Structure 1
Amino acid sequence: MKSHDAAPALDDGVKDSRGWLARLGAQEDLNFLLTNRIPRIAATRLMGRIANIESPLFTQLAIRVWQLFTPLDLREAKRQRFTSIKDCFTRELKDGARVFDARPDVFASPCDAIVGAMGTVQQGQVYQAKGFPYSTAELFGPTQDASAFEGGRFITLRLTSVMYHRFHAPADGTVEHVTYLSGDTWNVNPVALKRLERLFCRNERAVVRMRLAGGQPIALVPVAAVLVASIRLHWLNVLLHVGHPGAHEMPCSAPHVKGQEMGWFEHGSTIIVFVPKGFELAEGITTGAQIRAGQALLKLLS
């Protein structure tokens, strides 16, 4: 006689799946603990000093250790030998390694990245992860008006530590203003984004306001993170970092052509892209997609 009260036995596949999920959850907890429960600013400054040590032997050893734990691939790098860890972080690529979509209606990705949260700016609110909103007003700072992007789109682009760290102009246009906002250096990985509210608004960041050749205003917001020693913006010839307290207003008039290098992070981090109404997502741009600098990110509607 069969009993209908006993729970059905789990097959080995289901057990393995649940075990893997449990292990993944434990790893995420450990990652969160190690990267966010340390003296972040002190660790970031220390990383900046270590990264600037000019010793080819030390650098070669550090890169080999780095490659043991990450999929760091330097085959596209213009040079294969580096004088410091920073030299490797901010490496240039071989000519032709990144080709920018030349179509005039295409807004290209400014960097190599994994696509994170994206969507429409609604009542000045956007999301860093599901259920974790933040306001454009707080992100841009008290001196900047973000209303130009109401009803437009935002896309979060996350750079990992092994990626190409330079970023480029997504279209022809002129940079008109930069606001540098000093802040904390929380890790901005997906684990932290699901646990810490308004994370991007807490961290060090620069708000780069640009006007495209067609007259549309856009904004790129590079956000620093733990161990990111600095953000370099070439046209200002200023190194923005946690020892440079903000907010700082830097009006400018810096013409750029699509694909022109704008600056770099000295580690992985995030760039949040804002565009006004009139743009649609390019094909293949979805959360979790890995993209390259120059790839079509958005298209201007006719």
Structure 2
Amino acid sequence: MNFEKIKYKDRKTSEILTEDVPGEKFLKFLYYNPFGKLALNLIVKRKFLSSLYGRKMNSHKSVNLIENFVKTYNINMEESVKKIHEFTSFNDFFIRKLKPESRKIDFNKNTLVSPCDGKIFALERINDSSKFFLKGDEFSLGEFFKDEKLAKKFFSGTMLIIRLAPVDYHRYHFPCEGKILPSKLIGGNYFSVSPHAIKQNFRIFCENKREFSILKSKNFGDVCIAEIGATMVGGIVQTYKANSMVKKGEEKGYFYFGGSTVILLIEKNKIIIDEDILENSNRGIETQIKMGEKVGISI
């Protein structure tokens, strides 16, 4: 498979844009070079490398990286609660909180919203194949959950994959209101979750470290919210209170440094995905989205 730049669609302008990916040359080496693939399986996917890098991003010296990162990737610091000089480390900047008015949340009770900023890809039926992924890479709900009862519940349901790049806001929120159950942690590898990696192996979602919790909602039934670890992600932190009632848009947690992914699984016949997201996904293109934006309506 040839290396291709990551393309996505701007939801507001409908333009097809090319993503500026931090560390893209490194990803190209890892996933498109035989020596890179060897390093990937021997070293890069291991926890110690991501943990080591995470500690580096927690050091006070890492504050020197912030200003250049903001300028290079044109990050809007007007949205941030803290100013650049107030951060104590790069990770402190990475998990920055935004001013409430920075994200407009669709509070219509019949809508499901994006839990985070990123690029979204939809699979209307989980057991259906998609041109976006290589043939033969079967996504198994049983492997993903390590729980056959949950696998049966979400079989033939809808899957929304929201990919957060390192330049994105890295806190994630609840997509609808309901009762949130405790989070379950499943250990695993630390492969990249970029499209470069996913196109090579969709099973990464069943192999990487992940956490998931079930949100019991009135309009969408049981919604699974899963956070996927990835290369150079220093940690997944849950900030919510288990077994509590939560509102749409309330914070659920955050990722430390690195690109990451949030996956939503919705039961069969509970949601109609927005046409533009579905159309783009069917063409193999992700759609840029912000936390709080509508992604579908209840049936």
Structure 2-normalised TM-score?
0.78
Unaligned runs of at least 5 residues, structure 1: 1-20, 237-251
Contact 1:232 1:265 in 2 (8 A): yes
Tell whether 2:276 aligns with 1:273: no
Cα offset, 1:137, TM superposition: 1.1
Residue from 100, 122, 125 that aligns with 1:120:
125
Residue 134 of structure 1: SS of its match in structure 2? coil
Cα offset, 1:178, TM superposition: 2.1
Cα offset, 1:262, TM superposition: 0.5
Stretches (4+) displaced over 4 A = 21-28, 125-128
Query: More helix by proportion, 1 or 2?
Result: 2
C-alpha distance in 2 between matches for 1:29 and 1:22: 7
Percent of residue pairs bearing the same amino acid type: 24
Match runs of 1:128-167 below 5 Å: 129-131=133-135, 132-142=137-147, 145-167=150-172
In structure 2, relative to structure 1, the CA distance for the partners of 1:181 and 1:115 (3 Å cut) is same
Residue from 217, 226, 235 that aligns with 2:222:
217
Match runs of 1:183-202 below 5 Å: 183-202=188-207
Cα offset, 1:47, TM superposition: 1.6
C-alpha distance in 1 between matches for 2:296 and 2:254: 22
Contact 2:142 2:148 in 1 (8 A): no
In structure 2, relative to structure 1, the CA distance for the partners of 1:215 and 1:72 (3 Å cut) is closer
Query: More strand by proportion, 1 or 2?
Result: 1
C-alpha distance in 2 between matches for 1:166 and 1:113: 11
In the comparison of the two structures, how many residue pairs are matched? Answer: 262
CA RMSD after TM alignment? 2.8
Tell whether 2:28 aligns with 1:29: yes
Match runs of 1:1-302 below 5 Å: 27=25, 29-30=28-29, 32=31, 33=36, 36=40, 38-40=43-45, 41-53=47-59, 55=60, 58-67=61-70, 70-81=73-84, 82-116=87-121, 118-122=123-127, 129-131=133-135, 132-142=137-147, 145-214=150-219, 216-235=221-240, 252-267=242-257, 268-276=259-267, 277-285=269-277, 286-287=280-281, 288-301=286-299
Residue 163 of structure 1: SS of its match in structure 2? coil
C-alpha distance in 2 between matches for 1:85 and 1:143: 40
Q: Which one has a bigger Cα radius of gyration?
A: 1
Residue 299 of structure 1: SS of its match in structure 2? strand
C-alpha distance in 1 between matches for 2:101 and 2:298: 25
C-alpha distance in 2 between matches for 1:273 and 1:22: 28
Unaligned runs of at least 5 residues, structure 2: 7-23
C-alpha distance in 1 between matches for 2:130 and 2:226: 14
